[in-house]
Amino acid sequence: MTSNTTFTTPPPTAKYAILSFPTPEILLVTLNRPDQLNCINLDGHIELDAIWSWLDGEPSLRVGIVTGSGRAFCAGADLKEWNTNNTTGTRRSMPPSGFAALSRRSGKKPIIAAVNGLAYGGGMEAAVNCDIVVASSGASFALPEVKRGVVALAGALPRLVRTVGKQRAMEMALTGRTYGTSEMQRWGVVNEVVGDAEGKGKGVVQRAVEVAAEIAANSPDAVVVSREGVKLGWEGIGVEDGTRFMAESWYPRLVEGENIREGVRAFVEKRRPKWKASRL
Protein backbone atom coordinates (compact mmCIF):
# COMPACT_ATOMS: atom_id res chain seq x y z
CA MET A 1 0.00 0.00 0.00
CA THR A 2 1.36 3.39 -0.95
CA SER A 3 0.36 7.01 -0.67
CA ASN A 4 0.30 9.75 -3.28
CA THR A 5 0.57 12.38 -0.59
CA THR A 6 3.51 14.75 -0.74
CA PHE A 7 4.87 14.94 2.78
CA THR A 8 6.46 18.06 4.21
CA THR A 9 9.36 15.87 5.33
CA PRO A 10 10.28 12.39 4.05
CA PRO A 11 9.45 9.33 6.17
CA PRO A 12 12.29 8.08 8.37
CA THR A 13 14.38 5.24 7.02
CA ALA A 14 13.09 1.94 8.42
CA LYS A 15 15.23 -1.17 8.72
CA TYR A 16 13.16 -3.18 11.19
CA ALA A 17 9.67 -2.11 10.09
CA ILE A 18 7.71 -1.58 6.89
CA LEU A 19 5.95 1.76 6.42
CA SER A 20 2.87 1.93 4.23
CA PHE A 21 -0.13 4.19 3.76
CA PRO A 22 -3.57 2.55 3.40
CA THR A 23 -4.96 6.06 2.80
CA PRO A 24 -3.17 9.40 2.55
CA GLU A 25 -4.12 10.13 6.18
CA ILE A 26 -3.10 6.79 7.75
CA LEU A 27 0.38 5.47 8.54
CA LEU A 28 0.68 1.69 8.91
CA VAL A 29 3.84 0.45 10.64
CA THR A 30 4.46 -3.29 10.35
CA LEU A 31 7.15 -4.65 12.67
CA ASN A 32 9.25 -6.82 10.40
CA ARG A 33 11.46 -9.31 12.20
CA PRO A 34 9.20 -12.35 11.82
CA ASP A 35 11.98 -14.88 12.46
CA GLN A 36 12.54 -13.21 15.85
CA LEU A 37 8.77 -12.91 16.52
CA ASN A 38 9.21 -9.17 16.01
CA CYS A 39 11.29 -8.80 19.16
CA ILE A 40 12.70 -5.27 19.18
CA ASN A 41 16.35 -4.45 19.62
CA LEU A 42 17.70 -1.10 20.81
CA ASP A 43 18.19 0.23 17.28
CA GLY A 44 14.58 -0.75 16.59
CA HIS A 45 13.33 1.37 19.50
CA ILE A 46 15.27 4.36 18.20
CA GLU A 47 13.90 3.78 14.71
CA LEU A 48 10.31 3.61 15.96
CA ASP A 49 10.77 6.74 18.06
CA ALA A 50 11.69 8.61 14.88
CA ILE A 51 8.70 7.12 13.04
CA TRP A 52 6.10 8.07 15.65
CA SER A 53 7.63 11.53 16.02
CA TRP A 54 7.33 11.92 12.26
CA LEU A 55 3.66 10.88 12.45
CA ASP A 56 2.99 13.60 15.01
CA GLY A 57 4.84 16.24 13.00
CA GLU A 58 3.54 15.43 9.50
CA PRO A 59 0.41 17.55 8.90
CA SER A 60 -1.17 15.25 6.30
CA LEU A 61 -1.19 12.21 8.61
CA ARG A 62 -3.94 11.80 11.19
CA VAL A 63 -3.78 8.24 12.57
CA GLY A 64 -1.14 5.55 13.03
CA ILE A 65 -1.52 1.77 13.12
CA VAL A 66 1.06 -0.72 14.38
CA THR A 67 1.01 -4.45 13.63
CA GLY A 68 3.46 -7.31 13.16
CA SER A 69 4.56 -9.55 10.32
CA GLY A 70 4.29 -13.32 10.66
CA ARG A 71 2.65 -14.96 13.66
CA ALA A 72 3.58 -12.36 16.28
CA PHE A 73 2.61 -8.80 16.99
CA CYS A 74 5.70 -8.41 19.16
CA ALA A 75 7.15 -10.96 21.58
CA GLY A 76 9.04 -8.35 23.59
CA ALA A 77 12.69 -7.43 23.93
CA ASP A 78 15.51 -8.97 21.94
CA LEU A 79 16.84 -11.16 24.77
CA LYS A 80 19.81 -12.33 22.69
CA GLU A 81 20.95 -8.73 22.37
CA TRP A 82 20.20 -8.18 26.04
CA ASN A 83 22.32 -11.20 27.00
CA THR A 84 25.19 -9.98 24.82
CA ASN A 85 25.02 -6.55 26.40
CA ASN A 86 25.06 -8.11 29.87
CA THR A 87 28.11 -10.13 28.92
CA THR A 88 30.01 -7.20 27.43
CA GLY A 89 28.84 -4.63 29.97
CA THR A 90 27.28 -2.52 27.23
CA ARG A 91 24.58 -0.15 28.47
CA ARG A 92 22.29 1.61 26.05
CA SER A 93 18.90 3.03 26.91
CA MET A 94 15.76 3.01 24.83
CA PRO A 95 14.18 6.43 24.09
CA PRO A 96 12.03 8.12 26.79
CA SER A 97 8.96 7.07 24.75
CA GLY A 98 9.59 3.51 25.94
CA PHE A 99 9.24 0.11 24.35
CA ALA A 100 8.60 0.38 20.59
CA ALA A 101 8.46 4.13 21.36
CA LEU A 102 4.88 3.42 22.47
CA SER A 103 4.79 2.13 26.05
CA ARG A 104 5.48 5.58 27.52
CA ARG A 105 4.53 7.66 24.50
CA SER A 106 2.47 10.72 25.14
CA GLY A 107 2.34 11.87 21.54
CA LYS A 108 -0.26 13.89 19.75
CA LYS A 109 -2.02 11.69 17.20
CA PRO A 110 -3.85 8.41 17.94
CA ILE A 111 -2.25 5.04 17.31
CA ILE A 112 -4.21 1.80 16.91
CA ALA A 113 -2.64 -1.55 17.77
CA ALA A 114 -3.65 -4.24 15.27
CA VAL A 115 -2.57 -7.23 17.35
CA ASN A 116 -2.22 -10.07 14.88
CA GLY A 117 -0.58 -12.67 17.14
CA LEU A 118 1.66 -12.92 20.21
CA ALA A 119 1.85 -9.74 22.28
CA TYR A 120 4.25 -10.61 25.06
CA GLY A 121 6.33 -8.53 27.44
CA GLY A 122 7.20 -5.22 25.85
CA GLY A 123 4.84 -6.06 23.00
CA MET A 124 1.95 -6.08 25.43
CA GLU A 125 3.28 -2.96 27.13
CA ALA A 126 3.23 -1.17 23.78
CA ALA A 127 -0.31 -2.34 22.99
CA VAL A 128 -1.64 -1.31 26.42
CA ASN A 129 -0.56 2.28 25.77
CA CYS A 130 -2.02 2.46 22.27
CA ASP A 131 -5.27 4.39 22.02
CA ILE A 132 -7.36 1.56 20.54
CA VAL A 133 -6.56 -2.17 20.40
CA VAL A 134 -8.02 -4.40 17.70
CA ALA A 135 -6.93 -8.03 18.03
CA SER A 136 -7.30 -11.15 15.93
CA SER A 137 -9.18 -14.00 17.57
CA GLY A 138 -5.99 -16.05 17.74
CA ALA A 139 -3.85 -13.37 19.39
CA SER A 140 -2.52 -13.79 22.92
CA PHE A 141 -1.21 -11.46 25.59
CA ALA A 142 1.23 -11.91 28.46
CA LEU A 143 3.66 -10.17 30.78
CA PRO A 144 6.06 -13.11 31.27
CA GLU A 145 8.95 -11.04 32.66
CA VAL A 146 8.85 -12.67 36.09
CA LYS A 147 9.58 -16.01 34.42
CA ARG A 148 12.91 -14.59 33.19
CA GLY A 149 13.87 -12.76 36.38
CA VAL A 150 13.12 -9.33 34.95
CA VAL A 151 10.31 -6.80 35.37
CA ALA A 152 7.82 -5.16 33.00
CA LEU A 153 9.48 -1.77 33.40
CA ALA A 154 8.45 -0.14 30.14
CA GLY A 155 5.30 1.48 31.53
CA ALA A 156 2.63 -1.22 31.47
CA LEU A 157 2.25 -1.91 35.19
CA PRO A 158 0.98 1.49 36.38
CA ARG A 159 -0.99 1.92 33.17
CA LEU A 160 -2.49 -1.57 33.21
CA VAL A 161 -3.93 -1.20 36.71
CA ARG A 162 -5.99 1.76 35.52
CA THR A 163 -7.48 -0.37 32.76
CA VAL A 164 -8.08 -3.74 34.43
CA GLY A 165 -7.94 -2.96 38.18
CA LYS A 166 -5.46 -3.91 40.87
CA GLN A 167 -6.26 -7.60 41.32
CA ARG A 168 -6.22 -8.44 37.62
CA ALA A 169 -3.06 -6.41 37.05
CA MET A 170 -1.41 -8.24 39.95
CA GLU A 171 -2.43 -11.59 38.48
CA MET A 172 -0.92 -10.74 35.11
CA ALA A 173 2.30 -9.27 36.54
CA LEU A 174 2.97 -11.89 39.21
CA THR A 175 2.04 -15.11 37.40
CA GLY A 176 3.33 -14.32 33.90
CA ARG A 177 0.25 -16.14 32.61
CA THR A 178 -0.86 -15.99 28.95
CA TYR A 179 -4.34 -14.69 28.12
CA GLY A 180 -6.55 -14.94 25.04
CA THR A 181 -8.33 -12.10 23.31
CA SER A 182 -11.78 -12.84 24.74
CA GLU A 183 -10.48 -12.42 28.29
CA MET A 184 -8.55 -9.29 27.36
CA GLN A 185 -11.68 -7.86 25.78
CA ARG A 186 -13.71 -8.54 28.92
CA TRP A 187 -11.02 -6.87 31.00
CA GLY A 188 -10.97 -3.78 28.80
CA VAL A 189 -7.53 -4.17 27.19
CA VAL A 190 -8.94 -5.04 23.75
CA ASN A 191 -11.64 -2.96 22.06
CA GLU A 192 -12.58 -5.46 19.38
CA VAL A 193 -11.80 -9.06 18.41
CA VAL A 194 -11.67 -9.82 14.69
CA GLY A 195 -12.32 -13.24 13.17
CA ASP A 196 -14.04 -16.36 14.44
CA ALA A 197 -12.58 -19.16 16.58
CA GLU A 198 -10.69 -20.50 13.56
CA GLY A 199 -9.31 -17.06 12.74
CA LYS A 200 -11.50 -16.75 9.64
CA GLY A 201 -13.14 -13.54 8.59
CA LYS A 202 -11.99 -9.96 8.21
CA GLY A 203 -8.28 -9.39 8.82
CA VAL A 204 -7.18 -7.47 11.88
CA VAL A 205 -5.24 -4.88 9.87
CA GLN A 206 -8.21 -4.37 7.55
CA ARG A 207 -10.43 -3.70 10.54
CA ALA A 208 -7.86 -1.38 12.12
CA VAL A 209 -7.71 0.60 8.88
CA GLU A 210 -11.51 0.95 8.93
CA VAL A 211 -11.40 2.30 12.49
CA ALA A 212 -8.51 4.61 11.58
CA ALA A 213 -10.45 5.91 8.57
CA GLU A 214 -13.41 6.63 10.82
CA ILE A 215 -11.13 8.71 13.07
CA ALA A 216 -9.42 10.40 10.11
CA ALA A 217 -12.81 11.55 8.79
CA ASN A 218 -13.22 13.78 11.85
CA SER A 219 -11.66 17.15 12.57
CA PRO A 220 -7.93 16.51 13.08
CA ASP A 221 -7.82 19.35 15.63
CA ALA A 222 -10.74 17.95 17.62
CA VAL A 223 -9.23 14.45 17.56
CA VAL A 224 -5.93 15.70 19.02
CA VAL A 225 -7.64 17.69 21.78
CA SER A 226 -10.20 14.97 22.60
CA ARG A 227 -7.41 12.39 22.88
CA GLU A 228 -5.57 14.69 25.25
CA GLY A 229 -8.66 15.00 27.45
CA VAL A 230 -9.04 11.22 27.76
CA LYS A 231 -5.33 10.82 28.51
CA LEU A 232 -5.52 13.34 31.33
CA GLY A 233 -8.16 11.25 33.10
CA TRP A 234 -6.37 7.95 32.44
CA GLU A 235 -3.13 9.27 33.85
CA GLY A 236 -4.73 10.20 37.14
CA ILE A 237 -5.56 13.90 36.93
CA GLY A 238 -8.81 14.75 38.72
CA VAL A 239 -11.87 15.68 36.69
CA GLU A 240 -11.86 19.35 37.70
CA ASP A 241 -8.10 19.76 37.19
CA GLY A 242 -8.26 17.97 33.86
CA THR A 243 -11.21 20.02 32.65
CA ARG A 244 -9.56 23.27 33.71
CA PHE A 245 -6.31 22.30 31.97
CA MET A 246 -8.21 21.47 28.77
CA ALA A 247 -10.14 24.74 28.89
CA GLU A 248 -7.08 26.86 29.59
CA SER A 249 -4.39 25.12 27.54
CA TRP A 250 -6.06 23.30 24.65
CA TYR A 251 -9.41 24.90 23.89
CA PRO A 252 -7.99 28.34 22.98
CA ARG A 253 -5.74 26.65 20.42
CA LEU A 254 -8.71 24.74 19.03
CA VAL A 255 -10.89 27.83 18.53
CA GLU A 256 -8.06 29.70 16.82
CA GLY A 257 -7.92 27.05 14.09
CA GLU A 258 -9.91 26.84 10.89
CA ASN A 259 -11.43 23.41 11.50
CA ILE A 260 -13.81 24.38 14.28
CA ARG A 261 -15.35 27.06 12.06
CA GLU A 262 -15.46 24.70 9.07
CA GLY A 263 -17.21 21.99 11.10
CA VAL A 264 -19.96 24.30 12.28
CA ARG A 265 -20.35 25.90 8.84
CA ALA A 266 -20.59 22.49 7.15
CA PHE A 267 -23.30 21.42 9.60
CA VAL A 268 -25.35 24.54 8.83
CA GLU A 269 -24.83 24.07 5.09
CA LYS A 270 -25.64 20.34 5.31
CA ARG A 271 -22.44 19.14 3.66
CA ARG A 272 -19.31 17.22 4.59
CA PRO A 273 -16.59 19.29 6.22
CA LYS A 274 -13.40 19.97 4.30
CA TRP A 275 -10.82 19.70 7.03
CA LYS A 276 -7.44 21.40 7.03
CA ALA A 277 -4.33 19.63 8.30
CA SER A 278 -3.95 20.12 12.04
CA ARG A 279 -1.38 22.64 13.19
CA LEU A 280 -1.84 21.96 16.91
Residue 65 has pLDDT above 80, yes or no: yes
Pick the range with the lowest mean pLDDT from 64-68, 70-74, 239-243.
239-243
pLDDT tens per residue across span 118-137: 999 999 999 999 999 999 99
Based on the fold, state whether residues 110 and 249 are members of the same structural domain.
no
Based on the fold, state whether residues 99 and 227 are members of the same structural domain.
no
Residue 150 has pLDDT above 50, yes or no: yes
Is this prediction's pTM over 0.85? yes
Average pLDDT, the chain: 89
Give the DSSP letter string of 181-214.
HHHHHHTTS-SEEES-TTS-SS-HHHHHHHHHHH
Based on the fold, state whether residues 198 and 265 are members of the same structural domain.
no
Based on the fold, state whether residues 43 and 118 are members of the same structural domain.
yes
Please report the pLDDT score of residue 92 as a whole number. 65
Q: Is 196 exposed, middle or buried (0-12, 13-18, 19+ CB in 10 A)?
A: exposed
The answer to whether 259 touches 222, Cβ cutoff 8 Å, is: yes
CA 201 to chain centre: 23
Based on the fold, state whether residues 256 and 136 are members of the same structural domain.
no
Based on the fold, state whether residues 28 and 159 are members of the same structural domain.
yes
pLDDT tens per residue across span 208-248: 999 999 999 999 999 999 999 998 888 777 778 778 877 88
Residue 226 lies in a domain: yes
Based on the fold, state whether residues 56 and 82 are members of the same structural domain.
yes
Q: Is 160 exposed, middle or buried (0-12, 13-18, 19+ CB in 10 A)?
A: buried
Based on the fold, state whether residues 142 and 108 are members of the same structural domain.
yes
Among candidate residues 201, 216, 231, the one where a domain is terminated: 216
Provide the annotated active-site residues: 125, 145
Residue 230, domain extent: 220-269
CA 255 to chain centre: 27
Based on the fold, state whether residues 34 and 118 are members of the same structural domain.
yes
pLDDT tens per residue across span 165-189: 999 999 999 999 999 999 999 999 9
d(CA 72, CA 70): 6
Please report the pLDDT score of residue 1 as a whole number. 43
Contacts of residue 252, Cβ cutoff 8 Å, sequence gap at least 6: none
Based on the fold, state whether residues 69 and 207 are members of the same structural domain.
yes
Among candidate residues 199, 216, 233, the one where a domain is terminated: 216
Our count of domains for the chain comes to 2
Please report the pLDDT score of residue 82 as a whole number. 60
d(CA 41, CA 239): 39
Based on the fold, state whether residues 178 and 100 are members of the same structural domain.
yes
What percent of the chain lies above the pLDDT cut of 90? 63
200 CB neighbour count, 10 Å cutoff = 8
Please report the pLDDT score of residue 197 as a whole number. 52
Please report the pLDDT score of residue 211 as a whole number. 97
Please report the pLDDT score of residue 260 as a whole number. 84
Based on the fold, state whether residues 106 and 93 are members of the same structural domain.
yes
